[in-house]
Structure 1
Amino acid sequence: MLDMNRMIEIIKKNQDFKKVGMILCHNGVIRGYSKDGKKVKGLKVKLDKVKLKDLINRIKKKPGIIDVLVNIREG
């Protein structure tokens, strides 16, 4: 499992890093209360690996993108 600092190190080693203007990171958190006001006890995450791979491949083809790294904790 990669942490955010390790992911940034990997990006910086990319031969095209000199072209980078930004590294975008998203770190989601579980809110304390749901939108309808109920206390949140937990969150279950299930990964669709096929859809994720397709999404990563499409994003990598966009101009200006040098890499896409993803770390998802299922459970």
Structure 2
Amino acid sequence: MTYQDQLNPWVIHQLLPNLNRRIIARFRRRTEAEAYLKVVQQMRSTAQFLIAFDAPIANSAAGAPSAKVTSATTAATVSR
């Protein structure tokens, strides 16, 4: 995970067929992600989106590289 990604942990994913996801945007605050999600849903009413918190996991061993959580879902799938 890059430093820029760590600064913006809230992610909007577009849900694609075959359980794939596409990152639409990243935000520092959840409220910003929710506001942007409303706009995106109006523009793409048939697509499904998901807001997730994407953060690194700190390892207990000193000096070990940190692992990445692919996405911890924080909200139910939002579609209209």
TM-score w.r.t. the length of structure 1 is: 0.34
Would you tell me which structure has more helix in proportion to its own residues? Answer: 1
Greater RCO, 1 or 2 (C-alpha within 8 Å, sep 6+): 1
Structure 2-normalised TM-score? 0.32
* Bigger share in strand: 2
Larger Rg: 1
